[in-house]
Amino acid sequence: MRKLRIISLMFVIAISVLNPGMANSGQEEKDIVVYSGYYVREGNEGKTAELSGKSHYVKFYPGNKVVRLYIPYPYSMSLSPDVIRKVFSTASKKSSNSAFIRDKFDLLEQPIVAHIDTFRRVNGEIQYDCGNSAPCKIIFMDNSISTIQKAIVGEHIIKFDYVKE
């Protein structure tokens, strides 16, 4: 009987190592990923956007797709949430792979950059590649998200506010 338990335990461990998705199959149901709206970086209308020269928007899609828009500031101030939603929709259809696309998306007067990529679940965390050596972590809250980006000293935390559709 003891041998049977040990063999069963070894089988479960082997399956978990070879296919970690099976071990966490219920985790995706617990995630708070919001697909109905989008997120706007805190400070998009002020000093942060002015210093960086762009406003930053993020939208998550089913199938682990994430689209980030980089819209030149102060041009971003002239765009309504409805136009931004339409740009997300148009940009998300431009590629099924990871891509940087500079375009007007048949909606804008100036070209912007859309970064299309994927996010993934790792050990209960949601992550995406953010141009660093380590991926960014995403923490979902009620009406916002925070992205945590590793830095040489400590971490950069960037907050995004939720915009409903």
pLDDT attached to residue 150:
85
pLDDT of residue 34: 78
| CA angle at 35 for the pair 32 and 36, rounded to the nearest 5° | 115
Mean pLDDT for each consecutive 10-residue tract of the chain (165 residues)? 45 41 43 81 86 93 92 95 96 91 96 94 84 83 89 88 88
For position 31, what pLDDT does the model report? 55
pLDDT of residue 19: 40
Which one-letter amino acid corresponds to residue 97? Answer: N
Please state the three-class secondary structure of 15-63 as a single string. Answer: HHHHCHHHHCCCHHHHCCCCCCCEEEECCCCCHHHHHHCEEEEEEEECC
Task: In whole angstroms, give the CA distance from residue 55 to residue 74.
Answer: 8
Q: CA 135 to CA 147: how far, in whole Å?
A: 10
Query: CB-based contacts of 162: which residues, under 8 Å, 6+ apart?
Result: 34, 37, 38, 39, 143, 144, 145
